[in-house]
Amino acid sequence: MTAAKAILDVRDLVKRFGGLVATDHANLQVREGELHALIGPNGAGKTTLIHQLSGALAPTGGRIVFDGADATDWPMHRRVHAGLVRSYQITSIFKRLSVLDNLALAIQSRSGGNMRFWRPARAERERYEAAAEVARRVGLAQRQDRLAGNLSHGEQRQLEVGMVLALRPRLMLLDEPMAGMGPDESGRMVELLLSLKGEITMLLVEHDMDAVFRLADRVSTLVFGKIIATGSPEDIRSNPDVRRAYLGDDEAGQFKDLGVPAARKAV
């Protein structure tokens, strides 16, 4: 029959900031199980779109349909409860707590009242077992007793992914998880996201095109608030509109330049 169903369906979404249209009738479908990358030049509106999906910003128009339900007006906590979770959304890292304590807190926030009937000691033990499992999942088993504030930058980002995983997301939103990382750290993050593929549906905003093309099942390109193309990495790589958006000229440059917006290029 048709392709996997869309867990997220963004329909004609509009966000205005005064006279600026940051999201301009954007349409985007994320299918269950896929890793969907969202790319676009600086200022294209990627973060603004993610904020509307997470509930941090209210759209001016259009709809956000999550798992068949109209989530456009849902408050953030309801989205998280339904499984639409962005990193930093609810739980940021507590730097003076251990990795395991951080994860156990995230797990506790997920379970809410569900464990009330258990004896507290047992509930706590189960939480810490689950926390250790998440720590292992994100490559922090050897660091689980460290204070989160003593982790490296890359390890803190891994922990943030763990905090989201602890909430059992149905769709994980990631806005430039590799930002500020060196090659080793971003390599580890790519491996982590690769290991989650198929298990967790992801919408990933990312600048690093090597990472995008390694990770993504499908790619959407946002330019001036509009999705101008959605397709396989190969389709996007050869799409003239996408190349023009990045390069200002569909004949200029190599595709590898695609990841680096002109304004940001090192001199």
Ligand X SMILES: Nc1ncnc2c1ncn2[C@@H]1O[C@H](COP(=O)(O)OP(=O)(O)O)[C@@H](O)[C@H]1O
Are 168 and 198 spatial neighbours (Cβ–Cβ below 8 Å)?
A: no
User: Minimal distance in Å, beta carbon 202 to ligand X?
Assistant: 17
The footprint of Mg ion on residues 44-73 (CB under 5 A) is 46-47
Nearer to ligand X, 140 or 258 (CB): 258
Nearer to ligand X, 18 or 120 (CB): 18
Are 216 and 37 spatial neighbours (Cβ–Cβ below 8 Å)?
A: yes
156 counts as binding Mg ion under rule CB under 5 A: no
User: Minimal distance in Å, beta carbon 35 to Mg ion?
Assistant: 18
Q: CA angle, 241 as apex, 235 and 247 as ends, to 5°?
A: 105
User: Minimal distance in Å, beta carbon 47 to Mg ion?
Assistant: 3
Q: Which of ligand X, Mg ion, none does residue 58 bind (CB under 5 to 8 Å by kind)?
A: none
Within 112-220, residue ranges assigned H as helices are 120-137, 153-166, 183-196, 209-215
Site string (237-266) toward ligand X, x via CB under 6 A: ------------------------------
Give me 251's structure tokens: 């004949």
Q: Which of ligand X, Mg ion, none does residue 86 bind (CB under 5 to 8 Å by kind)?
A: none
Site string (22-61) toward ligand X, x via CB under 6 A: x-----------------x-xxxxxxx-------------
Nearer to Mg ion, 47 or 109 (CB): 47
Residues ≥6 apart with Cβ < 8 Å to 217:
31, 34, 35, 36, 197, 232
17 counts as binding ligand X under rule CB under 6 A: yes
Q: Which of ligand X, Mg ion, none does residue 72 bind (CB under 5 to 8 Å by kind)?
A: none
13 DSSP β-pair partners: 26
Residue from 173, 202, 191 nearest 87 by CA: 173
Give the long-range contacts of residues 229-233, CB within 8 A, separation 24 or more.
230/28, 230/29
Contact stretch for ligand X (CB under 6 A) within 14-22, 131-139, 165-173, 235-243: 14-22
Give me 99's structure tokens: 């990795």
Residues ≥6 apart with Cβ < 8 Å to 132:
100, 141, 144
* The only residue of 20, 58, 69, 194 in contact with ligand X, by rule CB under 6 A: 20
Which residues of the shown chain bind ligand X in the complex (CB under 6 A)? 17, 20, 22, 40, 42-48
Which residues of the shown chain bind Mg ion in the complex (CB under 5 A)? 46-47
